[in-house]
Chains A and B, each alone.
Chain A
Amino acid sequence: MASTITLSVTRWRPDRSMPPGPQEYEVPLRKEWTVLDGLNHIKNEIDQTLAFRWSCRMGICGSCGMNVNGEPRLTCGAFLSDYAPGPIRVEPLANFPIARDLIVDMSDFMEKLPRVKPWVIRDDDVTEIDGEYLQTPEELDAYKQFSMCINCMLCYAACPVYGLDPDFVGPAAIALAERYDLDSRDHGARERLDVLIEHEGVWGCTFVGECTRVCPKHVDPAGAIQRYKLKAAQQTVKAFLLPRAMR
């Protein structure tokens, strides 16, 4: 194995007129190093001005998503040796505005997330807590996979629809809506459906399935979107046939 590998890293500053472009760095090719380790080597040893987000380096905080050779990846889980002999293209996540170098502006997602009401909604008004809501392991399993989303934005970077229609709520937010809908403790499915039935809600999705393919936590947002479309379609049919109180 060669002792070094080249990272071709996107550089861009908002205060300069030059468009984003690659800059090449040679980093040690060590078997235990990830792309993130390579970026940190650059920052600590070669070029302090390179900007990127990272924190937990164990695939749970969701900070370090970037496009690696065109694929959205958590760079803390993408090993340099898997890309040998290189070079490796490291770019900011696609479909987002670039803020600086490898950092994208994800404020659009942060604005959309509360719209799907990702919290427990109850019919009853519990004020005193005297015990847990019972939930069997089977009931937990019904929504568990959708609760694994780390908001890393890889699915948005992979989604061709989000790239074309920025109003689309997007895979992670819809998966989180479904996570609460499927939770036996929650009664808010109808409220969320009202939000997601809108044009920008679930209908934008054309079932490409890229979101599920790139998800590092196997959340299956595409499955969630499909389930929502079904619910929405049923609701639409009911809307034709039944008076509102009976839907």
Chain B
Amino acid sequence: MSDDAVVADHDVLIVGGGGAGLRAAIAIAETEPGLDLAVVSKVYPMRSHTVSAEGGAAAAIAEGDTLDEHAYDTVSGSDWLGDQDAIEAFVQEAPRELLQLEHWGCPWSRQPDGRVAVRAFGGMKRMRTWFAADKTGFHMLHSLFQTSLKYSAMKRYDEWFVTRLLVDDGRVHGVVAVELASGRIRAITARAVVLATGGCGKVFPFTTNANINTGDGMALAYRAGAPMKDMEFVQYHPTGLPFTGILITEATRAEGGWLLNKDGYRYLQDYDLGTPTPEPTLRSMELGPRDRLSQAFVHEAEKGRTLDSEWGPIVHLDLRHLGEKLIDTKLPFVRELCLKYERIDPVTELIPVRPVVHYMMGGVHTDIDGAAPLAGLYAAGETACVSINGANRLGSNSLPECLVFGARAGRAAASYASSAGPVPAAVAAQASDEVRRLERLLGTPPGAESVATIRTEMQTTMEDAAGIYRTGPDMAAGVDQLRDLQERSTRVGIWDTSHSFNTELVAALELANMLDVAECMLASGLRREESRGAHQRTDFRARDDSRFLTHHLVGRDPDGSPRVSELPVTITRWPPGERVYGR
């Protein structure tokens, strides 16, 4: 490989600088300080979407809590699709990870005696969610980022966009990336690559996710031959603000908030979620799991018991009885967001909310150490699917997941990199191919399509095909529409001719990533002829363990089409049972 093509060679390259990526980086810097480590991210690390997480991070540490109870809540929350060996490792390592973050300065909210405070959360039968008011993700991310600055040998490629994984002879050897400021396209080679690029909520029109959540890592792995897992499971969070989709944290309900229909009635009692009590009851009513609450909203709308808004049906989240002091102490960001974006004050007014796409349970298939079935490739965080979340993630499990499996993936990648050989010369040709491909994208072919148009059509397609309730025919229609959009996307024009911060080019590459991810979702969803967790089909209403107590892997055929296969779920101690909430 000629020197001008390679910008640098590292032992481990981490793609993504959010919670999982930075935790992986610090784990490597601490355990294998001799390794050459780099983090590449399309944004400055502290802009990563971890920053938007609000409610908290779960770990069984409070008196009276046990690891087994955290595991059982997670298993039942996952509708038995989570792998129980992974869940057991997760609940066991989560307490240490949160304590580690405490030692790194995370400003966890405290009890009067100075110990870390915990709060309730949906689907959890104990109070075990650590929190930093309602900016938990923000504080975790900045604590991790600032701590990472200690390791001055760690190389960062801030605002570099990765476009391709370099693979030769079944091994990953690095990436090709665009430096956004200059437009330079370079290969960054490495013995091991950790993908930690977050989720893919922007596949949908209405999401809590940030602009950057375009499934980049998933698409990179998919195209490189690593399978996706459980991509049909998309989490709708029950409480987003109607126009913006801004998240109103589940902590509002953990602190005692109520969900009310247009008659002021706590409608969740009609959906097998328990009976209303003035004080919150764990694993009951407003503290049920997110899939069930979002589904209840749809039924309530069908009954005509929601309110109409400019943005579709809404219900109300009532915090008024919590009082100003509690809201300002424990939910200050919620008040700030409501005042700014809805011009209402939750201390005295009802918050309009509706379900909103929030989280991807599926992702790059990995084992319990974050290893994908492609040598040298690792993934962690929302990008990955280990799986601890199965068919439905519990609130406050994703932040500790980033820490536990970020650290695990980092250590595993470091260990692999220590023994892997040098980068083969063959990847130089791949890098040159990629440079040519990217250069060809610039410009406007005859009849050019715009990124924004195709993106909007993709989002509408996915909302229609893969909403809270799905049917086979809707998903099949979505598959056809996506195929058409894939074809049209080959004629996307790039009107921007500048090399510096060509955000239109980045948007086109992100669109290509999202189209691949969207195809995986529908392919998996069509195959799953049952209702489980966040995948609810009106043509197959029941869970069917005899046929579908199994993960779905999606591989990419040579012609680009998705191919679905099955992988057994690991059951260790909790045989499949009924999910019981509120009774």
Contact = CB atoms under 8 A, between A and B. Distances in A.
A129 B500 contact: no
A139 B102 CA distance: 14
Contacts of A13: 498, 500
B576 to A, nearest CB: 36
A-side interface size class: 35 or more
A144 B109 CA distance: 10
A52 B503 contact: yes
Interface string A44-81: 11001101111111111111000000000000010000
A48 B138 contact: no
Interface in A199-244: none
B420 interface: no
A114 to B, nearest CB: 4
Contacts of A77: 340
Interface string B292-334: 0000000000000000000000000000000000000000010
Interface string B488-508: 000000111111111110000
Contacts of B265: none
Given A49-B504, A147-B107, A15 B135 contact: no
Interface string B253-283: 0000000000000000000000000000000
Contact of B501 (A101, A114, A144, A150): A101
A23 B437 CA distance: 32
B246 interface: yes
A60 B52 contact: yes
Interface in A75-131: 77, 99-101, 103, 105-106, 110, 113-114, 117-120, 126, 129, 131
Contacts of A15: 498-500
B149 A113 contact: yes
Contacts of B500: 13-15, 51, 99-100
Contact of B496 (A51, A52, A151): A51
Given A57-B210, A147-B107, A49 B498 contact: yes
A195 B553 CA distance: 53
Contacts of A191: none
Nearest to B456: A44
Contacts of A185: 103, 105
A57 B147 contact: no
A126 to B, nearest CB: 7
A153 to B, nearest CB: 10
Interface string B48-90: 1101100000000000000000000000000000000000000
A52 B496 CA distance: 13
Contacts of B44: 106, 110, 151
Nearest to A114: B149
A125 B331 CA distance: 35
A3 interface: no
Nearest to A59: B340
A43 interface: yes
A25 interface: no
Interface residues of B, number: 62
B102 A132 contact: yes
B109 A140 contact: yes
Nearest to B444: A48
B340 A48 contact: no
B146 A57 contact: no
Nearest to B137: A60
Contact of B49 (A43, A55, A105): A55
Interface string B13-51: 000000000000000000000000000000110111101
B110 interface: yes
Contact of B181 (A59, A99, A140): A99
B452 interface: yes
Given A55-B212, A134-B113, A136-B114, A103 B501 contact: yes
Contact of A147 (B49, B114, B139, B450): B139
Given A56-B52, A118-B146, A143-B107, A51 B246 contact: no
B104 interface: yes
Nearest to A36: B211
Interface in B455-511: 494-504
B450 A48 contact: yes
A118 B149 contact: yes
A120 B501 contact: no
B548 interface: no
A119 B110 contact: no
Contacts of B503: 43, 51-52
Contacts of A14: 498, 500
A53 to B, nearest CB: 8
B374 interface: no
A13 B340 CA distance: 34
B99 interface: yes
Contact of B99 (A57, A132, A140, A144): A132
B6 interface: no
Contacts of A99: 181, 500-501
B112 interface: yes
A129 B100 contact: yes
Contacts of A120: 103-105, 147
A61 B210 contact: yes
Contacts of A129: 96, 99-100, 103
Given A55-B47, A57-B210, A144 B107 contact: yes
Interface in B545-569: none
Given A56-B49, A129-B99, A186-B105, A49 B210 contact: no
Contacts of A151: 44, 46
A19 interface: no
B239 to A, nearest CB: 14
A180 interface: yes
A140 B504 contact: no
Given A48-B496, A100-B498, A140-B110, A32 B115 contact: no
A18 B367 CA distance: 54
Contacts of B243: 32
A103 B135 CA distance: 27
Contacts of A140: 107, 109-110
Nearest to B53: A60
Contacts of A148: 135
Interface string A151-194: 10000000000000000000000001000100101100000000
A48 B498 contact: no
A97 B100 CA distance: 38
Nearest to B44: A110
23 contacts: A15-B498, A51-B503, A56-B49, A56-B210, A58-B244, A58-B247, A60-B135, A62-B46, A99-B181, A99-B501, A101-B501, A120-B103, A126-B103, A129-B96, A133-B103, A134-B115, A135-B110, A139-B110, A139-B114, A143-B107, A147-B139, A151-B46, A183-B105
